[in-house]
Amino acid sequence: MTQRAARLTRPHRRFRASYINGVWEFIREKRAVSWHPEILRQRFDEYLRVLQQAETDPLAGLAPATRFWLISHSDRYLGDVDVRHHLNPALERFGGHIGYKIRPTERRKGYGKLICKLGIDEARKLGIGDILITCDDDNIGSCKIIEANGGQLKDKIDNDRAVLTRRYWIPARD
């Protein structure tokens, strides 16, 4: 029930405190974050501007991408999803059109499946046909999420990482 009430939003100041708490959780699980919470505390508006810029005017070599946050019915930040507007050679091998994560304290509640579904909806709105999503071969949760959302395993490729990368395609709707 709480899961159904969660929705995607664009990053916004309104969720600042909850988002920063979520980033601390990612740090505690030793996940790399692009903006440290202490920096976010001081320069949150700048962070929002950088996200906006990534959509229309990305840094050299990056594809334009839109970031969304999954927010609970009680306005708690639950996770985020990036929708990349098109693929480049790097994303074709690793990353694909859609990348998501759920904050550690909110995992195993179905939010991973939900954020992937909502990310696919956003990709469709952008006119993306066949959607590529990649994940590590040993990331059981993410493999289940992609398959539950209609992903068809195309191949597993070697990206010079510890594990192979699975590439799934979600076919365009007719």
Least separation in angstroms between residue 29's CB and ligand COA is 8
Binding mask 120-159 for ligand COA (x = CB under 6 A): ---------------x---xxxx-xx--x-----------
d(CA 40, CA 56): 22
d(CA 31, CA 52): 23
- Smaller CB distance to ligand COA: residue 53 or 105? 105
The 8-class DSSP code of residue 67 comes to: E
- Number of residues lying near ligand COA (CB under 6 A): 19
109 binds ligand COA (CB under 6 A): yes
- Measured N-to-C along each axis, helices 37-56 and 16-28 cross at an angle, to the nearest 10 degrees, of 110
Q: Of the ranges 12-20, 68-76, 82-90, 98-106, which one interacts with ligand COA (CB under 6 A)?
A: 98-106
Tokens representing 166 are 């699975």
